[in-house]
Amino acid sequence: MLKQFSFLSFIFLGVLLLASPVFAAETPDASSSVKPGLRLITSPLPINLVTEPGKTVTTELKVKNGGTQKETLKIDLMKFKAYEESGKPQLLEREAGDDFLDWVTFSQPTFTLAPDEWKTITATFTVPSTASFGYYYALVFSRAEEVKPANISETSLVGGTAILVLLEARVPDAKREIVVTEFSLDKQFYEFLPTTFNVKLKNTGSVHIAPRGNIFINQGDTKDVALLEVNSEKGNILPNSSRTFDTKWNDGFPVYQEKVQDGKTVFDEKGNPEYELKWNFKDASKLRFGKYTAKLLLIYDDGHRDVPVEGEVSFWVIPWRLLIVLSIIALFFFIGFRSTVRNIWHKIFKRKKQ
């Protein structure tokens, strides 16, 4: 169990498996620094490589020493897979049969960095002719001579950060297929926005795929009340894995927003963010009421053409408390108006009679 769930698996749960192809982080992961002063910044994150069996492909890795002292670093190789349905990576140690880790060499396996210094390392992937489909690497930067506490297992590292690499050895018989296993909402009835759409996709193919698309929200014959983007960061789904994308529709009046005090989100006793209703009367025209239909349309590349995948779900928005208040106001207005008309009527006809 320790072999599969090394501490690095938890270090990088906060790293998006499928963020944009180029990412320069200016704030390092504090959890990756076990020894005081180790602050590493890496770019890009992650890397997507495509090649053919029997060829060589290279990529550049950039690392910065964000600490205050000189550091001697090394690069280790691990593999990763998808962690549950979050899209986050679970880093794993090498196992028997993981020969693809031998395909990688570095221009400088160890190197020294001064504070605030960037270093560019070239990684070379020599892909054999027998390779096919997808291979998933974690290139781990850590101290070259780290003192390991006695309670840390031999298969664990004690500090560092990683760059993820998704390598595809493109072959003609690769299967590329994405299916929608769930398209739903957190509720069916809402008083006010936001609504949260859950899009669960499964990769039934043999290589990683990054589907993208939109959710179109309509009401009756009205087209495109709202247009929401799904997987805007081009997140990949690994083979035989599922991933859930959450998308919110919060363009309404009024709307629930996270409660913030002193610039920080307020959490309840269970650790969930608290919400409060915001009334921005500039958006009064966006009062949502009635039945809405959300249509999902995603596209992925199957190697030959763009293939669409679809889904549909309906929901209601009924601001019942607001409707009650407006009804009471309308009732009093009607009673007052009726009384006024009656008084005027009596006065007019009383005068005529006299």
Helix, strand, or coil here: 150?
Answer: coil
Residue 277 has pLDDT above 70, yes or no: yes
pTM above 0.75, yes or no: yes
Closest CA to 57 of 71, 47, 42, 45: 47
Two tokens at 267? 């959490």
Amino acid at 88: K
Average pLDDT of the residues in 182-208: 96
Residue 253 makes CB contacts below 8 A (sequence gap 6+) with 279, 280, 281, 283, 284, 285, 286, 287, 288
Residue 160's pLDDT is 76
Residues 106, 129: one domain? yes
- pLDDT bucket at 154, cuts 50 / 70 / 90: very low
- pLDDT bucket at 45, cuts 50 / 70 / 90: confident
Residues 143, 216: one domain? no
Whether 104 maps to a domain, the answer reads yes
Whether 241 maps to a domain, the answer reads yes
Amino acid at 271: G
User: Partners of 307 in the beta sheet?
Assistant: 300
| Helix, strand, coil in percent for the chain, rounding step 5 | 15, 45, 40
Give the model confidence (pLDDT) of 249-263 as tens digits. Answer: 999 999 999 999 988
Whether 345 maps to a domain, the answer reads no
Residues 33, 146: one domain? yes
Whether 351 maps to a domain, the answer reads no
Give the model confidence (pLDDT) of 66-92 as tens digits. Answer: 999 999 999 999 999 998 888 889 999
Residues 139, 226: one domain? no
Whether 18 maps to a domain, the answer reads yes
Residues 207, 78: one domain? no
Q: Mean pLDDT of all residues in the chain?
A: 85
Whether 323 maps to a domain, the answer reads no
For residues 233 and 20, which has the higher predicted lDDT (pLDDT)? 233
Helix, strand, or coil here: 324?
Answer: helix
Residues 40, 158: one domain? yes
Q: Which H or E run contains 348?
A: helix 320-353
Q: Cα(263)–Cα(256) distance, rounded to whole angstroms?
A: 17
Residues 92, 9 contacting (CB under 8 angstroms):
yes
Residue 36's pLDDT is 55
Give the model confidence (pLDDT) of 96-146 as tens digits. Answer: 999 999 999 999 999 999 999 999 999 999 999 999 999 999 999 999 976
Domain region containing 215: 178-252+288-318
Residue 349 has pLDDT above 50, yes or no: yes
Residue 146's pLDDT is 62
Q: How many CB atoms lie within 10 A of CB 261?
A: 8
DSSP string, 24-76: --SS--GGG--STT--EEEESSSEEEEE-TT-EEEEEEEEEE-SSS-EEEEEE
Find the CATH number of the domain harbouring 64: 2.60.40.10
Burial level of 314, CB count in 10 A (0-12/13-18/19+)?
Answer: exposed
Of the residues 139, 169, 199, the one at which a domain ends: 169
Q: How many CB atoms lie within 10 A of CB 72?
A: 11
Residues 141, 21: one domain? yes
Residues 160, 182: one domain? no
